Each structure stands twice: as structure tokens, then as C-alpha cells.
Amino acid sequence: MVIPDLARNPGLADFVAQTRTVMADHPGTTEPVPDQSLHLTVQPLGFPGRDRVDSAARAQLITELECTLAEVPAFDLLIGSALVGHRGVVADTHHDDGFNLLLDRVRPVIAAVCGPEAIVYDSRPAHMALCYAGGHGSSDDLQRQLRRRVRPGHATLTVRAVDLVETVQVPDRCRYDSTVLHRFTLATTEAPATTPDAISTGVSV
């Protein structure tokens, strides 16, 4: 997953705050994803018949990913606009070359360590959930209000690190919470980024 640091990404913080203001007036979106639970999933690890990586596999995975991710350059993503679906509100990402490279590098490593069944799900196109639907209402009206009132309808996020995390669902709050298990730092680019940086996270990578 990628978990953004909103304090270092004020444009994204403003975008999220504006969407929450709009969603607060809609009966289906009164439980927006809180700051600490915002994320972009990089690669969830799936295991038929079990729900987590054992300690030996986790240690090997960390070792292998450390080497791989040290060679993946930090990158920017454009987040937005906010899109309404039957399951909630999400913001797709754009200018995805960096994200796609990241995913293409981690998937073979995970498959080699944990088996091909661990990477059945492909998270592309990347997206950030802003609210999971917790009620009922007109999705057309909500989409119209988001388009009119959230301006600008996008923001930049710079990804400089990726985390291995353990994620649990919190059904009564309509969200997922994550515990960071290990942080991987991406390679620095030659030219400094012009936008504030963020922390990313992803058991997901």
C-alpha cells in the first residue's frame, strides 16, 4: 500500500478535505476514510486457506524486496478526480509509469517467495479509496456535487518509500486499518522532486 503523509502533501490534503465536506452531506458517505487509513494498494498478498505470511517467508520477502526496491526510483502520481461507484468514492491515479514499474518489480519477487497464488490480484489502475459506502443515496447527485465543489479535482503525491503492512478490515467504521511491518526506501532521483514527498505503504506491499 501507499499511505500518504498529508502534512507533506498539502495539495492532496486539501483535495481530501474538500471531498469529505461534500460527502458529509450525502447519506451513503458519512464515514469517510480517516487520514491514517488512506492508502493506495500496491500488491495484496493472497493465500488460499490462510490469512498471513509466516515469519520465515516474511523475513525472506523483506530481504528480497529490500534489494529490488532500492533500485526503483521515487515517483509522482496525480490523484483524482473523485469517482462515485456502488461501493463508495475513490480517486484514480494518473501518470502511472512509476507505479506500474514498482508493481512490475515487486510481483515476481513475491511470487518467487510466496508462490504464484499470492499475486493473483493486480491492483492496476491504482486508486485511493476516500469512502466506502455505508448507506444509500443518489450516486449521480454525489458525483455531480464532487465535480462542482472539489476544485481543483486532483492533487500530486510523491512516493519515496513503500511499506510492507498487515491490514485488517474494520466493518463498523467502513474502512481498513494497517500496521507497518517494514519500510523500503526507493531510489532517489537525480533531479529533486518539485512537490512535497509522501510515505507509502502496502499483508500488502
Q: Which helix (H) or strand (E) holds 145?
A: helix 139-149
Average pLDDT (187-200) is 55
Q: Whole-number mean pLDDT of the chain?
A: 88
Per-residue pLDDT at 191 exceeds 70:
no
Residue type, 2: V
Question: What would the pLDDT profile of 120-150 be if each residue is shown by its tens digit?
Answer: 999 999 999 999 987 777 899 999 999 999 9
Q: Helices marked H in 10-138 — which ranges?
A: 10-23, 55-69, 97-114
Q: Is the peptide bond before 27 cis (omega within 30 degrees of 0)?
A: no
Query: What does the alpha-carbon distance between residue 40 and residue 153 come to, in Å, rounded to a whole number?
Result: 18
Per-residue model confidence as pLDDT tens digits over 44-98: 987 655 556 788 999 999 999 999 999 999 999 999 999 999 889 999 999 999 9
CB 43 within 8 A of CB 1: no
pTM of structure = 0.84
